[in-house]
Structure 1
Amino acid sequence: MDVLELARWQFGITTVYHFLMVPLTIGLSVLVAAMQTAWVRTGKLRHLKMTKFWGKLLLVNFAMGVVTGIVQEFQFGMSWSAYSRFVGDVFGAPLAMEGLVAFFVESTFLGLWIFGWDRLPKKVHLACAWAFSLATAASAYFILAANSWMQHPVGVEFVDGKPTMNSIGAVLTNNTALAAIPHTLAGAFSVAAAFLVGVAGWHLWRKRGASDEHREVWRSSLRLGGWVGVVAFAVLAITGDTQGKLMFEQQPMKMASAEALCHTEKPASFSIIAIGDVRGANCEDVKTFTVPALLSFLAHNDFSTEVKGVENLVGEYQAKYGSTYPDDPALGELAGQPIDYVPNLPVTYWGFRVMIGFGAISAGIGVLALWLTRRGRIPAGRWFPLMALGGIATPFIGNSAGWIFTEMGRQPFVVAPNPTGVEGMWMFTAQAVSKLTVGEVVTSLTTLTVLYLVLGVVELYLMRKYVRGGVDAVMPPAPSSSKEDSDDEALSFAY
């Protein structure tokens, strides 16, 4: 492997790992705030127990998300310094906003929420919960605005050969971002919903034959997760359709790659599944099962639109963006070499289907769990907790596959060209990498991978510990008049 490929692997590994924590934090923080709201409004102990239990798991996941998120900031200076110099004027604003929200608003109110139990008035303490949960979503907004600019650069002009932002409003209201944000947030709620269904379903089944004072906690949690998961999938479908239409306009090669559509079709059929090797751009050895004209509808809301294939688009891309890399010494061996405008077709084609398929499975498990637990019922078969626990993984897989598809589908660009934007406003991935040696990248890649494996083991251990402990492991001890005991109570919940 060369430096470019190793750097891409490093960024991919650290990003996907970090994104395992992000959606659970976003979705679970809002649901915990909603649980606490129910407790403040009704005074029912069930809702307090739900807030304490799921809040404990939220804190474990939040801590891991912060640790892995900081590494993402370092990536821009480690392996992608050339990219950082190119886009720094644009990225500086949304990343600074994200930092302010994440490390000031979010962290401040989370700290007040952790240590404010029995110290702050109930409604003030509840306001802290909503403040940090909404700040978490706002933090995601700014990150997605920056990422969406890479997919569809707007609000810039060229100054001395570099993009300079001339409208922060255009960057933050980029139509690509406005479609990606609700889609990503719906994916986050899908993850949190599956987590509730899985853990609560396991506890509910485990205590099915005995009188359990916490049974209503698990039943309410499971049914909340089930309903949230169903609604989230509906939002994912709607926003995904919007993104598909934008992709048809902004990144036609990505759309063709998602369907392994090698030749232009009018109308274009939607491929359900392909049999054969989809790596070749001519698709001569691939047989697909399709739905006639559906891809045209997804692209343009009608059943007759022409959708260009990979082979046809290659010529157009060569005419617009060049057929060879610039003769730049920074590109090393790639300088002056032909540009391959075709993304990794197996990754884009199957990643798209894994995203949709596992999202649908997650929603299906939620619907089934709601049906099986209606009117106080608890399934007796051992398959039920296995299904519920296994269902936790499905939206995680779907979210990860969606991001891999999004990022891989725009290759060979790290900043994809805007067909109607500033002339020359793009950057090839090969131009973005730092001047490093293979040994240096291998060292950092190995170190981070091992470190993340250790962190993964720690998170799984802590999650398993508090999940198995149930409500009793997170409810504070009886109030004491001693100040020292009172401090222990707060710290017991925090840690």
Structure 2
Amino acid sequence: MDTEILARIQFAFTVAFHYIYPPLSIGLGLLLVIFEGLYLKTGDKHYEILTRFWLKIFAITFAIGVATGIIMEFEFGTNWSVYSRYVGDIFGSALAAEGLFAFALESTFLGILLFGWHRVSPRVHFISTIGVFLGSMFSAIWIVVANSWQQTPAGYHIVGEGLEARTEITDFWAMVFNPSSVDRIIHVWQGAFLAGAFMVLSVHAYYLLQGRYVKISKKAFRISLVVATLFSFTQLLSGHSSAEGVTVNQPAKLAAMEGHFEAEAPADLYLFGWVDKEKQKTYGLAIPGGLSFLIHQDFKKPVNGLNAFPEDQRPPQVNAVFQFYHIMIGIGMLLIALTAFGSWMLWKGRIFEMRWLLWIFTIAVILPQIANQAGWFAAEMGRQPWVVYGLLRTSEAFSKEVEANQILFSIILFFVVYAILFALFLYFLNKKIQKGPEKEAENVFKLV
């Protein structure tokens, strides 16, 4: 493999591994706010136990997320020096804002949240919980803003020429509220809420199947199911809004996502399929004219396909973009069906008797994670061949001084280190889940 491909593989691997943890932190943060808020409002000690229990899992997730995220900033300088120089003024501003307004807030209140029990008042502790949750939300904002600017640049001008060219901010708020940032931030938040909610659903469904911690598990399950149901439906709306933005701002990406090749023709909406790039044909189950209807509310109105764009401006891995996009959509629809049915059974008062459904919720913890990963891969691979859309090509952005064997060695090293971190995360997570909230409950009251 050449240097560019290896550099892309390394960054994709580190980002994908890191992205397991921030969505969980954001989603669990929301549930912690709800649990502790209910405890303050009702005085029900079950909610205090839930807060204490899930706070420890939150802390494990947060720690691994920080450890795996730091390395990416070094990769910008080692493997992507041209990119770093080109976008440093803009990307650096967003990362600085994350550190000042998000990470500092989250880290400061996390200390009170972890060690402030019985040292500060319940209201101050609850404010700390809100602070940690908001910090994680703000962190996501600035990271998504930086990435969205690469997708839809705005509020900048170019200084210098050739290898010395770089972008500078001319309008900070235009950079922040670039054409895709708001839709993508909302979409990322909702995916994170689903990841956290399904984590809680999975663990407490597991306890219910075992007949352990039944009272608190029923309460946690009800709350997290409501959260999961709400955001599985709203995720569909934000996803549609984001796709409409892609239609306007990145039409070649949209064509790749739907496997649409004709330069100008009505476009089908594929439920699933396979793209043959050489034959320029997509095979699968589709709604005739469905994409045209979603975009124009007209089944027969033309949509620009890949052939409407120069070959060197199309995503090269069309089938991969198509598959990742449809994996995300498919899981999103599955989550809607699962949570809607679960909520119906909850309303009927039957869900805790349906062991097969509890098993599904136990296993379903992996689904939001897969959807989140697939969505990011579709977005990033669909942006190719650009690292900054329409401005800087990926082939021009990597460090020319770094050799392929150096990157390969670092990939192997990162794989070993990340495998160890992942094993530790699973070990401590499993240990905490298997033990359950016994320690949290022993100073409150004995669970029946």
Q: TM-score, normalised by structure 2?
A: 0.93
In the alignment, what sits opposite 1:403?
Answer: 376
Q: Once the two structures are superposed, what CA deviation does each residue of 1:221-254 show, in whole Å capped at 9, x if it has no partner?
A: 1111211111111111111111111111111111
In the alignment, what sits opposite 1:107?
Answer: 107
Segments of 5+ residues of structure 1 without an aligned counterpart are: 316-338, 418-425, 480-495
In the alignment, what sits opposite 2:28?
Answer: 28
C-alpha contact 1:466 1:473 (8 A) present in aligned 2: no
Measured in 2, the distance between the counterparts of 1:433 and 1:476 equals 55
C-alpha contact 2:233 2:336 (8 A) present in aligned 1: no
Q: Does 1:441 align with 2:407?
A: yes
* Partner-residue secondary structure (3-state), 1:128: helix
Alignment length (residue pairs):
440
AA partner of residue 69 (structure 1):
G
Deviation of residue 385 (structure 1)?
4.4
In the alignment, what sits opposite 1:184?
Answer: 188
* Partner-residue secondary structure (3-state), 1:154: coil
Q: State the identity as a percent.
A: 32
In the alignment, what sits opposite 1:263?
Answer: 262
C-alpha contact 2:277 2:319 (8 A) present in aligned 1: no
Q: Does 1:429 align with 2:394?
A: yes
* Partner-residue secondary structure (3-state), 2:167: strand
Segments of 5+ residues of structure 2 without an aligned counterpart are: none
In the alignment, what sits opposite 1:288?
Answer: 284
C-alpha contact 1:266 1:307 (8 A) present in aligned 2: yes
AA partner of residue 280 (structure 1):
K
C-alpha contact 1:190 1:233 (8 A) present in aligned 2: yes
In the alignment, what sits opposite 2:294?
Answer: 298
Q: Does 1:150 align with 2:146?
A: no
In the alignment, what sits opposite 1:453?
Answer: 419
In the alignment, what sits opposite 2:271?
Answer: 272
Deviation of residue 342 (structure 1)?
3.3
AA partner of residue 221 (structure 1):
A
Deviation of residue 461 (structure 1)?
0.6
* Partner-residue secondary structure (3-state), 1:342: coil
Measured in 2, the distance between the counterparts of 1:264 and 1:429 equals 25
In the alignment, what sits opposite 1:327?
Answer: none
Q: Once the two structures are superposed, what CA deviation does each residue of 1:142-174 show, in whole Å capped at 9, x if it has no partner?
A: 110000000000000112232111111011111
AA partner of residue 380 (structure 2):
E
C-alpha contact 2:342 2:351 (8 A) present in aligned 1: no
- The change in CA–CA distance for 1:28 and 1:198 in structure 2 (over 3 A counts) is same
Measured in 1, the distance between the counterparts of 2:444 and 2:224 equals 30
Q: TM-score, normalised by structure 1?
A: 0.85
* Partner-residue secondary structure (3-state), 2:19: helix
AA partner of residue 167 (structure 1):
D
C-alpha contact 2:190 2:235 (8 A) present in aligned 1: yes
**Cα RMSD, aligned residues only:** 1.9
Deviation of residue 48 (structure 1)?
0.6
Measured in 1, the distance between the counterparts of 2:338 and 2:52 equals 25
In the alignment, what sits opposite 2:325?
Answer: 352
AA partner of residue 433 (structure 2):
V
Measured in 2, the distance between the counterparts of 1:15 and 1:300 equals 35
- The change in CA–CA distance for 1:24 and 1:478 in structure 2 (over 3 A counts) is closer
Deviation of residue 261 (structure 1)?
0.7
C-alpha contact 1:273 1:290 (8 A) present in aligned 2: yes
In the alignment, what sits opposite 1:70?
Answer: 70
C-alpha contact 1:90 1:165 (8 A) present in aligned 2: yes
AA partner of residue 179 (structure 2):
N
User: Radius of gyration: which is bigger?
Assistant: 1
